[in-house]
Chain A
Amino acid sequence: MKIEVKSFMSVITTGRVNQKTLTVPEGTTVCQIMETVGFSPDDEILILVNKGITNENRVLCDGDNLTFMPPVSAA
């Protein structure tokens, strides 16, 4: 199945949005995608699937849009 992944985490480090389409097996979780794109388990990340807030245990479906955002708080 295909998952659209868009990460704004990289905007902080590289200045660019990291956007790609991944082909993954049925039953793939958000956590597995996070490992694939290079996040560590300690990274704090806001996770959205199809606009909804979710967590790393979410099982993905074909065509899902997965977005990663940094939880920034400074002012």
Chain B
Amino acid sequence: MRLLATLGAAAALATAGCASVTVSEGVGSLSEVGADSVVLVGKIQVIPAVKPEEQTFRAGVDVFNMRRHHIGRAILYVSDQPKYQERTGNALNPALEETFFLKVPRSQRFMVKGSVTMALVARAVSARQSVVDHTELLFPAPVEFDIRPGDKAIYVGTLRLHRDEFHEVTKAEIRDEYAAAVVDYRNKFGAAPAPRKALLKPLTRP
């Protein structure tokens, strides 16, 4: 698991954000997961799939390599409250179309905003104004993770999102691909106990 503390400086990144954000891109070993956290196992699929060439990221000098958080990945902001927020202090950053293993604090059981960046381009309009063109494929949210005491890892399912040409999600479904996910889990973590199945609940449109 790699922790970053910064989506900040690249103000362009967040169209806004300046406060620091802890980002979970993935867990490398279960030893990284303390008692206050749990591993989410699952997958995000977008239909039709988002091709890298569809995504544009130009946010000036990218000293923190923020680009990698956007291209081919989703950004899921989590919170302890089930209320939509444009951003929070904790984000999950799974790769699309792959089984993810993400560390999330137990208290942050709500995904309050999820998106795939289709375009993030910062430009100067004048000496006094710059603009950020931020086009996102926005997930239905909020969504609750069914984290229970004693859980070390939970399987949340494959979140399959169908989109139209405007990058609007027109249909969302949760698919149970537990067996395949457990194979991936074992390949990554060896003989560790399998994650408990805790599929995301049916989603409603945002």
A and B are interacting partners: no
- List residues of chain B with CB under 8 Å of any chain A CB: none
- List residues of chain A with CB under 8 Å of any chain B CB: none
